[in-house]
Structure 1
């Protein structure tokens, strides 16, 4: 496990997905995490590449090149999630031993139909909450379908997880302790048949294994922190401090995305901008 806080510094990280070129919003986020480490601290670069259909090596290479161009350096080797599936499988096994994981065979259309026909269909931060169709299946039926090769995902029994973990809170750098409400998400997916993990599980395991003490990330991920805090509690992990920064938007007030090619670091570099100019464009002031 990576070292934790030393000499007053923090262990921070920047964890982009290689699904496109980084834009100035990513520059702001990376710079924020890099400088948050403080004197004597450590900065990690992590590549979140669990989606084989969207992640490409060319974008991974570009991430490293663009960040180095901005003047950032990080601990090596860089952790690539696709190389550490066993770590996530081990965590999933621990949750399964607690009786908190069950297979879900529902298609998206089946889930949508069930929600539309339901009188009470709660919505969470990510949209409609899974209605628990497969949660009612017997162990025998589950085994039969799995043995038959039925496609499925693995979900967390949120009610059971909350009962085991009890009341939880996470520390916000600006607001202090925040009560975690993971039940709003319902039974979240923690693994798929082709990928033995999910964003929620992988990021929680990675932060633990890398000894992250301070997580700097966009404010759009505030709700997800509740799920991560729950997983930390169930797996016996220490919870880091969280600092959610503002999102960078364009002139119309729309959040920047990787499809905004003219605002990527790569495009700005080719247009002749200097690292200092790109940093200023991102709004980062140190």
Structure 2
């Protein structure tokens, strides 16, 4: 693993290829891009294609094309997790060798009485390919300071338990892959949606177990429908339209709590992004868990599958 270069900000946007970009994912991309550029740093894009059964064919190419249309160009090559299994296997082997991880034959039904929280193996049978879990110590409390939300604390043993690193179906778990990739890509600042806030303590535990650096974290508010549902889980999560990028960029800017008048006169994406960067104020990002979806967001007619 490469250590993070000192005093060099590296951020990233990491969508899963389960559909085209909608307003929530565009806001996350724009927010992470603005924070990286404001710090004079780099901005990377990584495709998190770890779960083939959930992927939509061609979605990652549409996502990347949309980012280009919105003027959000990554620095360097786009990384795809589906091609990085050797890195994950190496990390898993290290965790197993150290005793930090263990093989587990428990099924979901075996853990039903504990709400899915694993503290000891209770399965009566064996699986052809067991899952692999991280061993979470008793009374394991992990805290960190979120750049937008302040101090966060989680009792990982009680709220999560021993969590999966490789699934029983052989697929890599998100928690392991994201930790390995952030370290390998020398990511210093992770900016993402608040739906991943409770994953952060697990990732910090993994970083410690693998002797990897812990990046800074900032969790953006979720974009929600007027009735409070997360946009990506609702029928309102239709894709934004790359053929008409300015209205969608203005909507994403607004959901970040930034003043609309600052970019109102911009007539192309380059000018809008340059102007937005000059006026961007992270202190304006909404503190609550969610931001409201603007009344009108131009959408693409091609697909209605949400990320």
**Is TM more than 0.5 here?**
yes
Name the counterpart of 1:34.
33
In the comparison of the two structures, how many residue pairs are matched?
254
Shift in alpha-carbon separation, 1:175–1:249, aligned structure 2, 3 A: closer
Aligned: 1:155 with 2:129 = no
**In the TM superposition, what are the counterparts of 1:219-234 in structure 2 within 5 Å?**
219-234=194-209
Q: Could you state the TM-score of these two structures normalised by the residue count of structure 2? A: 0.74
The separation in 1 between residues aligned to 2:219 and 2:237, in whole angstroms, is 26
Aligned: 1:275 with 2:240 = no
The separation in 1 between residues aligned to 2:84 and 2:239, in whole angstroms, is 29
* Aligned counterpart for 1:249 among listed residues 224, 230, 246: 224
Q: Could you state the TM-score of these two structures normalised by the residue count of structure 1? A: 0.79
Aligned: 1:218 with 2:193 = yes
Name the counterpart of 2:263.
none
Deviation at 1:5, TM superposition (A): 5.5
Asked if structure 1 preserves the Cα contact closer than 8 Å seen for 2:101 and 2:134, the reply is: yes
Could you say what the CA RMSD is over the residues aligned between the two structures, in angstroms?
2.7
Structure 1, unpaired ranges of 5+: 116-120, 122-126
Deviation at 1:179, TM superposition (A): 4.2
Name the counterpart of 1:260.
235
The separation in 1 between residues aligned to 2:110 and 2:237, in whole angstroms, is 40
Shift in alpha-carbon separation, 1:77–1:278, aligned structure 2, 3 A: same
Asked if structure 2 preserves the Cα contact closer than 8 Å seen for 1:89 and 1:197, the reply is: no
Name the counterpart of 2:45.
45
Asked if structure 2 preserves the Cα contact closer than 8 Å seen for 1:15 and 1:45, the reply is: yes
The separation in 1 between residues aligned to 2:119 and 2:135, in whole angstroms, is 12
* Aligned counterpart for 1:170 among listed residues 144, 147, 154: 144
Deviation at 1:279, TM superposition (A): 1.4
The separation in 2 between residues aligned to 1:171 and 1:63, in whole angstroms, is 31
Structure 2, unpaired ranges of 5+: 259-279, 281-307
